[in-house]
């Protein structure tokens, strides 16, 4: 095993999977988190031969699962003498609805749990390891829709807006705290051709939402970025951006 470890939520598909491959290629051990073991194992199979990956299943919306994941990561880091250098909050959800009347409050609660509560709770639980590995980095994955409301995208947009605020809060709280706190940044990937965006497109189509035409066109014209290009840009930001350009920054591919 290598000495640095990166924990990536939502590593079984799309951007998270591509990021895992990129970081592993840079000699970093990757801990792959998601609910579906088969999806995480598909990512594991894509890692370069000499690299190390750990599959850790769990639902980050559930506190018991988060606590179990934190214990498992801590045990791995300690037993292998590794440093938790990177924590990437990539998993993201948010079901569309046809409008406010049909927007499911439980769906909003689920989106908030995955997109906001989990990044907070996982960062808190892993903070001792992040401090011990100083200098370490936390990267949140935002979405442009947080600042561009569109019909039917309430749960996703509201929760991503809250994630942006969580990023800002962590930044100011860490900045006035001790020197060994992790640097925190927000990454805005833009439109990326992933299973997630395609599932969103089909759900939005069922709801009859107007942005479906734009997404259809963007996917047909190849205007979406590839997960690989975005994973590479995120890995570059994590491993090669100087601290003064990373801490508190909103980064883009």
| Site for ligand NAP, rule CB under 6 A | 9-10, 12-16, 33-36, 39, 59-61, 90-93, 114, 141, 143, 189, 191-192, 194-197
Which of residues 78 and 147 has its CB atom nearest to ligand NAP in the complex? 147
Least distance CB 177 / ligand NAP (angstroms): 26
Query: What is the signed CA dihedral for 126, 132, 136, 138, rounded to 10 degrees?
Result: 10
Least distance CB 50 / ligand NAP (angstroms): 25
Alpha-carbon distances, residue 144 vs 30, 110, 153, 188, 248 (angstroms): 27, 20, 12, 7, 17
Rounded to whole angstroms, the Cα distance separating 90 from 7 reads 10
Which of residues 35 and 68 has its CB atom nearest to ligand NAP in the complex? 35
Residue 111 CB neighbour total at 10 angstroms: 25
Which of residues 39 and 73 has its CB atom nearest to ligand NAP in the complex? 39
Which of residues 80 and 120 has its CB atom nearest to ligand NAP in the complex? 120
How does strand 53-57 pair with strand 29-34? parallel
Least distance CB 35 / ligand NAP (angstroms): 3
Please name the helix (run of DSSP H) or strand (run of DSSP E) that holds residue 186, with its range, or none. strand 183-187
Least distance CB 180 / ligand NAP (angstroms): 27
């Amino acid at each position: 095993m290598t000495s640095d470890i990166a924990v990536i939520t939502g590593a079984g598909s799309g951007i998270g999977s591509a990021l895992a491959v990129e970081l592993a290629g840079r000699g970093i051990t990757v801990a792959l988190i998601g609910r579906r073991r088969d999806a995480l194992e598909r990512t594991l199979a894509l890692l370069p031969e000499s690299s190390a990956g750990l599959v850790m299943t769990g639902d980050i919306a559930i506190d018991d699962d988060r606590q179990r994941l934190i214990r498992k990561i801590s045990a791995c880091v300690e037993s292998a003498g590794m440093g938790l250098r990177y924590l990437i909050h990539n998993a993201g959800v948010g079901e569309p609805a046809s409008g406010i009347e049909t927007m499911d409050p439980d769906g909003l609660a689920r989106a908030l749990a995955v997109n906001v509560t989990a990044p907070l709770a996982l960062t808190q639980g892993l903070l001792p390891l992040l401090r011990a590995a100083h200098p370490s980095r936390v990267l949140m994955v935002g979405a442009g829709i947080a600042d561009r409301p569109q019909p039917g995208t309430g749960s996703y947009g509201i929760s991503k807006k809250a994630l942006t605020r969580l990023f800002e809060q962590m930044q100011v709280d860490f900045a006035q705290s001790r020197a060994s706190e992790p640097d925190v940044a927000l990454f805005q990937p833009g439109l990326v051709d992933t299973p997630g965006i395609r599932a969103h497109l089909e759900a939005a189509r069922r709801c009859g939402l107007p942005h479906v035409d734009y997404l259809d066109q963007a996917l047909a014209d190849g205007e979406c970025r590839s997960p690989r290009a975005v994973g590479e840009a995120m890995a570059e930001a994590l491993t090669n951006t100087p601290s003064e350009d990373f801490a508190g920054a909103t980064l883009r591919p």
